């Protein structure tokens, strides 16, 4: 279940994200005391607690004690609601980011860990396809600003600064997605990752041909044993982050 953002008129979306529309308590004026913010907050709470799959317009409306169609007074459609959710959740970045200041590498590592923490808090962020046309609201821009500052003063030009932040951010998101997928699989099946691996490994052993997959035969069991699973996202995060920062360091050292 992936949702798409960046649908809908850019002008309309941006004015929503930056809350350019007045609260306008006219006419019957917010009968149930609702507002865009209350809707968005409830949506985030629901997605946090029960996953993006549980977030339907009817369910959200029920949580807020109104009819389903009432939500459309505050939000043009579900896609825009998701934009707002993403921007709001990503806006928590500064509270999770405590940079060790002096060296770019320490700052960039802190960015990666803060980003990881965000995805742990709001796993549904990873199920919203926002990379192509991000909701350019205050939350997203704040995260982008702090991310760029981490690589500022390294001698890299503007294009490279953007590329480095995007690379780190994409890496974190990709790896965090592994956690989300595992949790989703556990919830869907009632079987933990370790149990699944223990059930799968012996059957697999019997079914596959060591002559055809000699390197897998040598490496697979060692790696599987080390992780107690087919894939351990947390290990992958630590390993990958170190490699990535090493790679960026090569670039920084080459810069004037």
Partner DNA sequence: GTTCCTTGTCGTACACTGTACGACTAGCCT
Partner DNA sequence: AGGCTAGTCGTACAGTGTACGACAAGGAAC
Is 2 a binding residue for its own copies by CB under 8 A? The answer is yes
Out of 16, 43, 47, 55, point to the residue binding DNA (CB under 7 A): 55
CB of 58 or CB of 103, closer to DNA:
58
Phi, psi (5° rounding) for residue 14? -65, -40
CB of 33 or CB of 190, closer to its own copies:
190
Binding mask 51-90 for its own copies (x = CB under 8 A): ----------------------------------------
Out of 58, 103, 121, 218, point to the residue binding its own copies (CB under 8 A): 218
Is 173 a binding residue for DNA by CB under 7 A? The answer is no
Out of 14, 36, 42, 57, point to the residue binding DNA (CB under 7 A): 57
39 makes contact, choosing from DNA, its own copies, none, with CB < 5 to 8 Å by partner type, with none
β-pairing verdict for 3-4 and 128-129: parallel
68 makes contact, choosing from DNA, its own copies, none, with CB < 5 to 8 Å by partner type, with DNA
Residues 6+ apart with CB under 8 A from 140: 86, 87, 90, 91, 134
185 makes contact, choosing from DNA, its own copies, none, with CB < 5 to 8 Å by partner type, with its own copies
Give the total residue count for the chain. Answer: 256
User: Which tokens is 62 given?
Assistant: 């029920």
CB of 46 to DNA, least distance (A): 11
- On whether the CB atoms of residues 236 and 178 are closer than 8 A, the answer is yes
Residues 6+ apart with CB under 8 A from 198: none
Site for DNA in 12-51 (CB under 7 A): 24, 26-32, 34
Other CB atoms within a 10 A radius of the CB of residue 249 amount to 14
Site for its own copies in 151-170 (CB under 8 A): 152, 158-159, 161-164, 166-167, 170
CA distances from 150 to 3, 100, 159 (A): 30, 10, 14
Q: Where are the alpha helices (DSSP H) in the chain?
A: 10-17, 36-50, 57-64, 78-90, 93-96, 104-121, 138-150, 158-189, 193-207, 214-227, 233-254
Residues 6+ apart with CB under 8 A from 217: 210
Residue bearing tokens 């933990």? 192
CB of 32 or CB of 242, closer to its own copies:
242
CB of 45 to its own copies, least distance (A): 21
Is 79 a binding residue for DNA by CB under 7 A? The answer is yes
CA atoms of 128 and 134, how far apart (whole Å): 10
Is 214 a binding residue for DNA by CB under 7 A? The answer is no
21 makes contact, choosing from its own copies, DNA, none, with CB < 5 to 8 Å by partner type, with none
Catalog residues that contact DNA under the rule CB under 7 A.
24, 26-32, 34, 55-59, 66-70, 72-74, 77-79
């Amino acid at each position: 279940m992936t949702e798409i953002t960046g649908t809908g008129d850019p002008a309309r979306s941006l004015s929503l994200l930056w809350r350019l529309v007045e609260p306008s308590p006219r006419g019957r004026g917010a009968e149930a005391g609702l507002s865009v913010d209350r809707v968005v907050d409830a949506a985030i709470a629901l997605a946090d607690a029960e996953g993006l799959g549980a977030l339907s317009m009817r369910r959200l409306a029920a949580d807020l004690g109104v009819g389903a169609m009432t939500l459309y007074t505050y939000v043009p459609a579900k896609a825009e609601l998701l934009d707002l959710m993403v921007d709001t959740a990503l806006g928590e970045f500064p509270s999770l980011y405590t940079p060790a200041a002096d060296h770019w590498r320490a700052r960039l590592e802190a960015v990666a860990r803060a980003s990881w923490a965000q995805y742990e808090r709001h796993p549904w962020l990873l199920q919203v396809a926002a990379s192509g046309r991000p909701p350019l609201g205050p939350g997203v821009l704040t995260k982008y600003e702090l991310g760029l500052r981490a690589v500022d003063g390294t001698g890299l030009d503007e294009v490279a600064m953007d590329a480095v932040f995007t690379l780190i951010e994409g890496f974190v998101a990709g790896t965090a997605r592994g956690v989300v997928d595992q949790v989703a699989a556990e919830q869907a099946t009632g079987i933990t990752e370790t149990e699944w691996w223990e059930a799968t490994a012996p059957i697999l052993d019997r079914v596959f041909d060591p002559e055809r997959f000699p390197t897998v035969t040598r490496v697979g069991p060692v790696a599987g044993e080390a992780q107690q699973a087919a894939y351990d996202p947390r290990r992958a995060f630590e390993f990958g982050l170190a490699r990535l920062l090493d790679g960026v360091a090569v670039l920084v050292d080459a810069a004037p």
